[in-house]
Chain A
Amino acid sequence: MSLHPLTPKERTAIPRQRMPEHPPADRARNFNEVNLGFDSELAQQEALRCLACAHPKCVEGCPVGVKVKDFIELILKGDYLAAAAKIREDDVMPAITGRVCPQENQCEGACVLSRKFGAVGIGYLERFVADYERRSGQVALPGRLPPTGKKVAIVGSGPAGLSAAGDLIQLGHQVTVFEALHEIGGVLVYGIPEFRLPKQIVREEVENLRKMGVQFEVNVVVGKTVTVDELLQQEGYHAVLIATGAGLPQLLGIPGENLCGVYSANEFLTRVNLMKAYRFPEYDQPVYDCRNRNVAVIGGGNTAMDAIRCALRLGARNASVIYRRTEAEMPARVEEIRHARAEGVQFLLLTNPVAFLGDERGWLRAVRLIKMELGTPDESGRRRPVPIPGSEYEMPLEVAIIAVGTRSNPLVPSTTPDLKTRKGGYIEADPETLKTSKRGVFAAGDIVTGAATVILAMGAGRKAARAMDEFLRTGQW
């Protein structure tokens, strides 16, 4: 028997509920969260739209298989805490994924309603129950199995490392997470800005893990401060998970890249988010003063949107996205592009920089751009952008942020001799068990796959945790 009081036709007649948000003109000048979240009325309306399919495609569309249909049913029952617990069975950080997952390519993209009626707002609902749970102060922390006496080291405290830590601690192992920076969270704290993911949420998730028994050691650069071999041989760890991400900036290799005012997105975002440069001089770390300046980001992913929207909030006069393909090929979440545009970000599509031009002091003053057109598809299936000869022009620019992807971090592989890597320095790991070439060492997340999403890294972390548990219990490699 269906819980739904409505017929399918009545359900599809309900429009997709809109996420309440701060008006663009206000929010474009501060770092407060843009989306305000559903209240229970909106959540009920949206949940009513779910057709409760016999074979829910949304679950298949989720990289970690969150039981979407079940949690939506619990929302309809009004049992929001149970709904949150249901999500937590597969996704330990729903308040985070509800905000940053590219739902349109995952659960919502697979939703049967997506084509004709607009997908059920699964991300919004996930966020709603996660926030409800947080505010209730009744986060149901899972229990722990009896101690196994096994010690696990996790290298990196981003999404992959944190989700693995959550599982391994429940399975009864002793877990220590090592982080190179001074704050836990990896890309969740240095990369994703406050207005998209409030840091308080990350801190709460970390606090939950701490309460469950996970230990955190900040300021430890594995590969430098201590090596993987030392962790295994001298510090008594029985297994190590490498979850260091793909955090190295990719630059363009065009003239003028070292001018003052040209940033990698990693540096710009680290200064603004982790080091809180937007609150300079209350915080000590500065960032180049964007006020009344022309700022552009090169790239079309979430990082690019994050960076340019930060620049806007730092007072940029003109904030532009320079992207060599069209909007359809942009890897960013649809919502981020929409938000950026509403806030006043300009999009220079089918455009690519060929050189940064400086003044006599070595500061950026302009960028030389070239128009592009789309040619034949490349290996990613996207049509390759081709420069149009003779279409070059100059645009005044004082701050440029390069957000064209990241590379693997070599610190661990270069100090762990028997760890096999593949092209680009990414660690080779079995796709099912995430075992590396070195006994006792597993790897998960972007350091294996190359830059991907928070939820994929979390999924990989959980997969690794299962395989690590088996290794720790059986000793079999």
Chain B
Amino acid sequence: MQRTGSKILEARFLAPEVKWFRVEAPRIARKQQPGQFVMVRVHDQGERIPLTIAGSDPNEGSITLIVQGVGKTTKLLNTLEAGDRILDVVGPLGKPSQMEKVGTCVVVAGGVGAAIAYPTARALKGAGNRVVVILGARNRALMILEGEMRSFADELIVTTDDGSYGQQGLVTDALRKMIGDDHKMDLVFAVGPIPMMQAVAELTRPHGIRTVVSLNPIMVDGTGMCGGCRVVVGGKSQFACVDGPEFDAHQVDFDALTKRNALYRDAELRALAELLKHRCKLAEAT
């Protein structure tokens, strides 16, 4: 158990492996804007990982994080409960989402990408836009933030890969249909797995629909210091941590991003395997 760090005020699972945290972070809460992230380290030997801030309460001095347990660090995080502490929480980092009134915005969120899309989607609504949310997951159990999205969205389309809930298909199927129906859209904001964001970019490109994606490259410091998170945008290297994380989807080299994100696959799998082997022991140590 960490004795220092940011205290977790509330924690609950939204879906299998997807946990919602309210974390004490007064300075970050005061400053946070949609689209920004924090860097997090869970224990003394831990790595630093970026997590998008799903929301904040400046009065209470807390921020909200939604964590999908995929690797060692996120799985460790998801063992934490209210009263536990997260050793390091730094932010808010990255450029805020551009919030302007453009007309109709379609927010496309795949899987846990909903956590990243949610604060931006809500802020787009707040800026006076008509907001259509396409929310997708592999199946009903993995669907998160549906109620939250519904609370402000002018329209909510839900898709599941297996058809267990909403329309059967991918979020891109729903988007394709909207484009086919000549639905008015001035901005598409897409967050999710890289193939999904890439597919959205290819769908909107021929129609010249402005499309923004939030990228998730591997980061170390999150302040522009290392350049590990560089992505190719418009043929030029950009640092996602300070120049992004949001970029014009039509300029992003998704293939390069996919390749760079595979850089530590072996190490990630090894760390995860060790974690699962020693899960109980490690959970105690944090």
Docked complex Cα distance between A226 and B45 (Å): 27
A182 to B264, CA, bound (A): 22
Q: Is the interface of A mostly helix, strand, loop or mixed?
A: loop
What does DSSP make chain B's interface, helix, strand, loop or mixed?
A: mixed
Contact (A182, B41) CB under 8 Å given A258-B237, A284-B72 = yes
- Of the stretches A6-14, A247-255, A384-392, A453-461, the one at the interface is A247-255
- With a cutoff of 8 Å between Cβ atoms, the chain B residues found around residue A41 in the complex are none
Smallest Cβ distance from A324 to chain B, in angstroms?
21
Q: Which residue of B lies closest to A264 (CB)?
A: B227
Contact mask for chain A residues 239-274; partner B; CB cutoff 8 A; 1 contact, 0 none: 000000001110100000111110110110011000
Selecting from B84-92, B100-108, B161-169, B187-195, the interface stretch reads B84-92
Residues of B within 8 A of A275 (CB): 47-48, 220
B271 touches A284 (CB 8 A): yes
Does A218 count as interface, using CB distance less than 8 angstroms?
yes
A180-B223, A221-B93, A225-B90 in contact; A283/B263 too (CB < 8 A)? no
Task: Choose from A259, A270, A361 the contact partner of B226 (Cβ within 8 Å).
Answer: A270
Q: Mark B223-252, 1 if CB is under 8 A from A, else 0.
A: 111111010100001000010000000000
A residues near B226, Cβ cutoff 8 Å = 249, 264, 266-267, 270
Q: What is the chain A residue whose CB lies nearest that of B89?
A: A219
Q: A361–B27 Cα gap in the complex (Å)?
A: 42
Total number of A-B contacts with CB less than 8 angstroms? 120
Contact (Cβ within 8 A) B274 A281: yes
Min CB–CB distance A174 → chain B (angstroms):
19
The verdict on B266 contacting chain A, using a C-beta distance below 8 Å, is yes
B140 on interface, CB distance cutoff 8 Å:
no
**Contact A182 to B93, CB < 8 A, known contacts A280-B267, A286-B264, A286-B268:** no
A282 at the interface (CB under 8 A from B): yes
- Which residues of B are found within 8 Å of A271, using beta-carbon distances? 220
Q: Is A285 an interface residue (CB 8 A)?
A: yes
Given A221-B93, A226-B27, A249-B225, A282:B263 Cβ within 8 A:
no
B256 at the interface (CB under 8 A from A): yes
Q: Is B221 an interface residue (CB 8 A)?
A: yes
Cβ proximity bits A210-251 to B, threshold 8 Å, 1 near / 0 not: 000000001111001110000000000000000000011101
Asked if A284 and B90 sit within 8 Å, CB to CB, the answer is no
Question: Which residue of chain A has its CB nearest to the CB of B228?
Answer: A267
For residues 149 through 185 of chain B, which have their beta carbon under 8 Å from a beta carbon of chain A? none
Instruction: Report the bound CA distance from A261 to B228 in whole Å.
Output: 10
Q: Does A276 belong to the interface (CB within 8 Å)?
A: yes
Q: How far is the CA of A46 from the CA of B162 in the complex (A)?
A: 78
Contact A411 B224 (CB under 8 A): yes
Q: Which of A181, A283, A409 has the most CB of B within 10 A?
A: A181
Q: Which residues of A contact B109 (CB under 8 A)?
A: none
Q: Is A471 an interface residue (CB 8 A)?
A: no
User: In whole angstroms, how far apart are the Cα atoms of A126 and B279 in the complex?
Assistant: 48
A288 contacts B263, C-beta separation under 8 Å: yes
Instruction: Answer whether residue A289 sits at the interface, using C-beta atoms and an 8 A cutoff.
Output: yes
Q: Does B210 contact A (CB under 8 A)?
A: no
Q: CB-CB < 8 A to A409: which residues of B?
A: 223-225
Question: What is the CB-to-nearest-CB distance from B51 to chain A, in angstroms, rounded to a whole number?
Answer: 14
Closest chain A residue to B94, Cβ basis: A224
Within 8 A of A (CB), among B29-58: 31, 41, 45-48
Which residues of the other chain, B, contact A260 by a CB distance below 8 angstroms? 259-260, 262-263
Tell me if A362 counts as interface (CB < 8 A to partner B): yes
Interface string of A289-314 (1 = CB under 8 A from B): 10000000000000000000000000
| Candidates B28, B227, B242, B264; contact of A225 at CB < 8 Å | B28
Choose among A180, A190, A279 the residue that contacts B90 (Cβ–Cβ < 8 A). A180
**Smallest CB–CB gap between B253 and chain A, Å?**
8
Tally chain A residues at the interface, Cβ within 8 Å: 44
* Contact present for B220 and A258 (CB under 8 Å): no
Q: Are A248's CB and B224's CB within 8 A?
A: yes
Closest A residue to B44 by beta carbon equals A283
| Given A182-B87, A361-B259, also A258-B230 (CB < 8 A) | yes
* Interface flag for B205 (CB, 8 Å): no
Chain A: minimal CB distance from B102 (Å): 26
Is B64 positioned at the interface, with any CB of A under 8 Å from its CB?
A: no
Given contacts A180-B223, A270-B226, contact A258 B47 (CB under 8 A): no
Complex Cα distance, B48 from A182, in Å, reads: 10
Determine if B211 is an interface residue (Cβ-Cβ < 8 Å). no
Is there a chain A Cβ closer than 8 Å to B120's Cβ? no
B73 within 8 A of A: yes
CA distance A251 to B227 in the complex (A): 9
- Select which of B90, B93, B242, B270 is within 8 A of A281 by beta carbon: B270
> What residues on B are CB-neighbors of A224 within 8 Å?
31, 91-93, 223
**Closest CB in chain A relative to B71 CB, distance in Å:** 9
Q: Are A362 and B90 touching (Cβ within 8 A)?
A: no
Interface hits, B64-119 → A, CB 8 Å = 72-73, 87-93
Taking CB atoms, residues of chain B closer than 8 Å to A267 are 220, 226-228
Within 8 A of B (CB), among A169-221: 180-182, 190, 218-221
Q: A258-B232, A258-B260, A275-B48 known; A285 and B90 CB under 8 Å?
A: no
**Which residues 342-389 of A have a CB within 8 angstroms of B?**
361-363
Instruction: Find out whether the CB atom of A220 lies under 8 angstroms from the CB atom of B260.
Output: no
Q: Which residues of A contact B262 (CB under 8 A)?
A: 260, 361-362
A-B contacts besides A263-B228, A264-B226, A285-B47, 11 pairs, CB < 8 Å: A218-B88, A219-B90, A224-B93, A249-B225, A267-B226, A276-B45, A283-B47, A288-B263, A361-B262, A409-B224, A411-B224
The 3 A-B residue pairs whose C-beta atoms are closest, nearest first, are A362-B259, A286-B267, A267-B226
- In the complex, 28 of the A-B residue pairs with CB atoms within 8 angstroms, ordered by the A residue number, are A182-B87, A221-B93, A221-B223, A224-B93, A225-B31, A226-B31, A248-B227, A249-B226, A258-B232, A258-B256, A260-B260, A261-B263, A266-B225, A267-B220, A267-B226, A275-B220, A276-B45, A284-B271, A285-B48, A285-B220, A286-B271, A289-B266, A361-B259, A361-B262, A362-B259, A409-B223, A410-B224, A411-B224
Q: Chain A residues in contact with chain B, CB under 8 A? A: 180-182, 190, 218-221, 224-226, 247-249, 251, 257-261, 263-264, 266-267, 270-271, 275-276, 279-286, 288-289, 361-363, 409-411
